[in-house]
Structure 1
Amino acid sequence: MTSSPAAVRRPLPWLPGLIVCALAAAAAWGVHWLAPAVPLLTAAVVLGIVVGQLPAARPAVTGVLAPGLSLSAKRLMRIGVVLLGLKLSLGDIAGLGWVAILTTVAVVLVSFAGTFWIGRLLGLPGHQPLLIATGFSICGASAIGAMSGVVKPKDEEAATPVALVTLCGTLAIFVLPLLWHQLGLDAQQFGHWVGAGVHDVGQVVATAQIAGAAALAVAVVVKLTRVLMLAPIVAVAAVVERRRHVEGDPAAKRPAIVPLFVAGFLVAVLVRTFVPLPPAVTDGADTLQTVLLAMALFGLGTAVRLRTLVGTGWRALVTGLASWVLIAALALGAVWVSAA
């Protein structure tokens, strides 16, 4: 049996796009190394958005590179989310105290519901309200990628929320430190506010480190407590999506009740909590997770079309900015309640 000419020419159709994503991740690392205030993952998304706007690059993005970009944005994203679980120790979260844990969970749930409602009120299409709510309330573009693995949105539906959460998270790096002393917060309270109110883990680190090591430590633990909410929220979305498939077409393939990568994320959390992993393992997993998410976010970024976003996306922009203000206010309230 002979292979077709197309199969001979392109035995691995995803390889060119995957190589470009890897090179983009390396470039994003270079930007972060030169300007540490710029989170690596934010640099990767922005680089993808820039490439997606270049007329000279667009034929390749939608042609020969498309399979690899799609593989990165979907499959590598899920693997990165699983490895993200190795950052989480239930013991560290318990150390926050029950008041801080409950207020952090409340911030996630209220901001998720509020953002989803704002998006629906403004008439955002398709899954955009759900994706924006997930990204803003939990952990930025990584959460959007995780939710996309369940609801299977169109590329443009996922690209706009990624652009918005990158924009607003970047604004937080510069705006929140300006309000630190004006709000009368000490360093640890500022770290708590950042962890509860800023979207991406890298953006949290970039913002909180300004106030010192104590603020950064609190910010990271609070942020990872929010990340833990990714599993139940995505699982609930999977159940709703499964029910919708059953009602729409009983013969259609049903999504899993708990997606495999969500189960993997939970297993990784339990491993980190109960298994004494050597630093070499955790550091290696952290590096791999960062590389995979950088490649995935570059792939997602290339799907953003700024002309379309500017021309028809004002409602999405208003939703994102309103959600940003809502989460910052709720997070500040959580700080004050915990300090009382």
Structure 2
Amino acid sequence: MSLAQRVSTILPGLALTCAVALLAYAGEHVEVVLFGGRWIESLVLAIALGIAVCTLKPLNPAMKPGIDFSAKILLEIAIVLLGASISLSAIRGAGVWLIAGIAIVVILSIAATYVIGRALGLPPRLATLIACGNSICGNSAIVAVAPVIEADSQEIAAALAFTAVLGIAAVFLLPLFYFHLGMSVPQYGTLAGLTVYAVPQVLAATAPVGLLAVQTGTLVKLVRVLMLGPVIFLFGVITKAEAVGTDARGSHHHSLVPWFICGFLGLMALRSFGLIPDVLVAPMEVVSGILTVIAMAALGLSVNIRSVAHAGGRVIAAATLSLLMLGLISYGLIVALQIQ
């Protein structure tokens, strides 16, 4: 198939995913206008709208190549560009013991959440997505890990939808720990940075307590985000090693690390060494965000609503128990490090 033929095959589905993504951005803008803030991100709206479109009317088979292209290739490009937004410079502002403690919290939380998810009957890949989302950085971690472990669209949609709701709830409930449990400002900022999913949500959760809480929470959160690189690298190696192990003939070549993980880590390294000009970082983040929303729209257009609904109760239970477990582990770190 020639390049022109391939492009013409992809265009219908790509146009549909872009239209759904635009509607999601429009919905987010309406939220800001009406409520003064974003309660549901465009990323989650894109999945919900995609599912609605797919449920209301069966899609023309001609749409499938473009939808598949958006869900896979565009998502992988978005992950590569995401690496440019992560810099190791955050480590300079944290002590060695705090960094080590955050790494331990992330590892323990991923392991505990995976065990909880499997105990509740969730499939291994869905349990892994929820574990990474809760333990690292919510939507970004789920989106980055999903192609590495070869999760399907139903699993990604379920993990994103239910953890998004829980993330919003955490922003409202977490300040109660400060106001009613007598925590100090540094302790609360550390707890928020260790438990809340996204950086904007950390800001929302810590702002009522004051500037010191915001600064502490943001620093801890940024160090926690740095764990995304090693985690997706590790899952990439494990997944590809398993693929090699199950190839009885051993005649197929398997790259141990997917190309987009190498790209992600490469851009993260370039950013950390100051080789990416600051003027390019923001545009790369914007492009990564746009491509991610388009990819999520494509995933929504591929989702069977019955599959997501069927797993709903167990996903909510796993995500909730995971967040409680993360909170306990995080509080244990605060006590162990004697943060006052």
TM-score normalised per structure 1: 0.84
Distance 1:320 1:189 in 2: 24
Match of 2:218 in 1: 220
Query: Given that residues 197 and 331 in structure 1 are in contact (C-alpha distance below 8 angstroms), is that contact kept between their aligned partners in structure 2?
Result: yes
**1:253–1:142 Cα change, 3 Å:** farther
Tell me, in whole angstroms, the C-alpha distance in 1 between the residues paired with 2:7 and 2:280.
39
Shift of 1:44: 2.6
Per-residue CA distance 1:48-107 (angstroms, 9 max, x = gap)? 2255136774424x7555444443333333333323322323222231111221111111
* Residue 257 to residue 33, structure 1, CA distance change in 2 (3 Å): same
Q: Gapped runs of 5+ residues in structure 1?
A: none
Specify the code of the residue in structure 1 equivalent to 2:138: G
Give % identity. Answer: 32
User: Which residue matches 1:165?
Assistant: 163
1:119-138 deviation line (CA, Å, top 9, x unaligned): 22222124212222122111
Asked whether the equivalents of residues 235 and 257 of structure 1 are also in contact (C-alpha less than 8 Å), the reply is no
Provide the rounded CA distance (Å) in 1 between the counterparts of 2:10 and 2:85. 37
Q: Closer, same or farther in 2 for the Cα pair 1:68/1:224, shift >3 Å?
A: farther
Q: Which deviates the most, 297-306 or 313-322?
A: 297-306
Give yes or no for contact 2:55–2:304 (8 Å, CA) kept in 1: no
- Using a 3 Å threshold, how does the CA distance of structure 1 residues 276 and 212 change in structure 2: closer, same or farther? farther
Query: Does the CA contact (< 8 Å) of 1:14 and 1:66 recur in 2?
Result: yes
Distance 1:140 1:253, change over 3 A: farther
The one of 68, 83, 105 equivalent to 1:85 is 83
CA apart distance, 1:36: 4.9
Q: Contact 1:198–1:328 (CA<8 Å) still a contact in 2?
A: no
Task: Give the partner amino acid of 2:294.
Answer: M
Say if 1:246 and 1:252, in contact at 8 Å, map to a contact too. no
1:258 is paired with a residue whose SS is coil
Give, in whole Å, the separation in 1 of the partners of 2:137 and 2:334. 19
- 1:6-25 matches, within 5 Å, as 10=9, 12-25=11-24
CA distance in 1, matches of 2:321, 2:7: 51
The equivalent residue for 2:319 is: 320
Runs of 4 or more above 6 Å deviation: 6-9
Residue identity in the other structure for 2:51: G
**Paired letter, 1:92:** A
- C-alpha displacement of 1:333: 2.7
Instruction: Pick closer, same or farther for the CA change 1:11–1:157 going to 2, 3 Å.
Output: closer
- The equivalent residue for 2:189 is 191
Give, in angstroms, the shift of residue 217 of structure 1. Answer: 3.2
Report the equivalent of 1:144: 142
Which deviates more from structure 2 when the two are superposed, residues 104-113 or residues 166-175? 166-175
Distance 1:32 1:271 in 2: 36
Q: Structure 1 CA distance, aligned partners of 2:186 and 2:67? A: 40
Q: Is the 8 A contact 2:132 2:145 kept in 1?
A: yes
Secondary structure in 1 matching 2:122:
coil
Which digits, 9 at most, give the CA deviation of each residue in 1:279-335, with x for residues without a partner?
432222232233233333343445555554444443222211111111122223333
Is contact 2:46–2:293 with CA below 8 Å preserved after alignment?
no
Root-mean-square deviation (Å): 3.2
Quote the Cα distance in structure 1 between the aligned partners of 2:122 and 2:141.
Answer: 19
Q: Give, in angstroms, the shift of residue 231 of structure 1.
A: 2.1
| Cα contact 1:235–1:258 (8 A) shared by 2 | yes
Give the counterpart letter for 1:295 in structure 2.
I
Inter-CA distance 295–273: structure 2 relative to 1 (3 Å threshold)? same
Q: Distance in 2 between matches of 1:7 and 1:288?
A: 23
**Structure 2 equivalent of residue 290 of structure 1:** 289
Distance 1:9 1:86, change over 3 A: closer
Contact 1:162–1:300 (CA<8 Å) still a contact in 2? Answer: no
Is residue 229 from structure 1 mapped to residue 231 from structure 2 by the alignment? Answer: no
Q: What are the equivalent positions in structure 2 for 1:44-193 lying under 5 Å apart? A: 44-53=43-52, 57-60=56-59, 63=61, 65-193=63-191
In 1, distance between residues paired with 2:209 and 2:44? 26
8 Å Cα contact 1:16-1:64 kept in structure 2: no
Equivalent residues in 2 for 1:302-313, closer than 5 Å: 302-303=301-302, 307-313=306-312
- Show the counterpart of 2:207: 209
* CA deviations over 1:157-208 (Å, ceiling 9, x no partner): 2221122221211211211123222232344433322221112334334333
Partner of 2:207: helix, strand, or coil?
Answer: helix
AA matched with 1:235: F
Q: Which moved more, 1:48-57 or 1:223-232?
A: 48-57
Name which of structure 1's ranges 246-255 and 6-15 shifts more when overlaid on structure 2. 6-15
CA distance in 1, matches of 2:211, 2:296: 28
Structure 2 unaligned spans of 5+: none
Q: For 1:323 and 1:220, locate their aligned partners in 2 and report how far apart those are by CA, in whole Å.
A: 21
Work out whether residues 87 and 269 of structure 1, in 8 Å CA contact, stay in contact via their aligned partners in 2.
yes
TM-score, normalised by the number of residues in structure 2: 0.84
